[in-house]
Amino acid sequence: LAVGIGLTAELMDKSVRTSQDIVRHLDVAMLGAIPDTDDEEVAIDRVETAVHDHPQSMVAEAFRRVRTNLQFSAPAERQRSIVVTSPRADDGTTTVACNLAMTVAQGGRRVLLVDANFRRPGLHQVFAAVKAKGLSNILIGDGDLTAYAVKTDIPLLDVLGGGPTPPNPAELLGSPQCQAFLRDAVSKYDQVIIDTPPVLLASDGIVLAKAVDGVILVVRAKKDSRGV
């Protein structure tokens, strides 16, 4: 009976659990796996800044591995602008975007981290210097990147907040003004990393993906199903 229950539970579990599941079901290369903070030997107070606060932790090392794999995935000129998204909310998109941006900046490249998640912005909670005006203002012609991007404590890393929530985020992100913003951003920075909403909840990330060099999809192990 115990064996039967175990086999049934195994067959009914449709979650993504291993790197092989990613490769098999998505048919894409996996950049890396970030361990859960519960498995970390170092006490991490804020996982969004783990790379900066705890550079010797397993989490920080995992993000450095992701940076290395990303660098080898394509020539530098073909990964100047990158969208970070996920299937569902709370999959860790903002955490990955923040730590990846810090890791790339620590590697000596000028990085702009952009909050394009108008529906649930999170970068202002991580970086206190983020201004109330930001990306949405730029896309409607109210100011430019130089006016709203702020420097952080991490050398070579600047952050641009989302700004006021627009009534039509997808239309703004698909507009010619957004393409002009991206051209301006990649002319000033070596890499632009953009945090976007989950693709199953909003089309913003899908719209923006058409205008950038690549997309990083964050999948939460043992939580996201293969169908999701």
The pLDDT tens digits for 126-150 are: 999 999 999 999 999 999 999 999 9
Q: At what angle do helices 93-106 and 58-73 cross, to 10 degrees?
A: 80
pLDDT of residue 225 exceeding 80, the answer is no
The pLDDT tens digits for 43-97 are: 888 889 999 999 999 999 999 999 999 999 889 889 999 999 998 888 889 999 9
Give the DSSP letter of residue 161: -
Return the closest-CA partner of residue 150 out of 139, 161, 140. 161
pLDDT of residue 188 exceeding 80, the answer is yes
pLDDT band at 221 (very low <50, low <70, confident <90, very high): confident
| 85 dihedral zone (left: phi>0; alpha: psi -120 to 50; beta) | beta
Q: How many helices (H) and strands (E) does the chain have?
A: 11, 6
pLDDT of residue 39 exceeding 80, the answer is no
Give the per-residue pLDDT at 141.
Answer: 93
pLDDT of residue 10 exceeding 70, the answer is no
Give the per-residue pLDDT at 18.
Answer: 74
pLDDT of residue 21 exceeding 90, the answer is no
| 90 dihedral zone (left: phi>0; alpha: psi -120 to 50; beta) | left
Return the closest-CA partner of residue 192 out of 211, 168, 207. 211
pLDDT of residue 98 exceeding 90, the answer is yes
> Which amino acid belongs to residue 96?
V
Q: How far apart are CA 156 and CA 125, in angstroms?
A: 20
Q: pTM (2 decimals)?
A: 0.88
pLDDT of residue 37 exceeding 70, the answer is yes
Q: How far apart are CA 97 and CA 39, in angstroms?
A: 21
Compute the average pLDDT of residues 202-214.
92
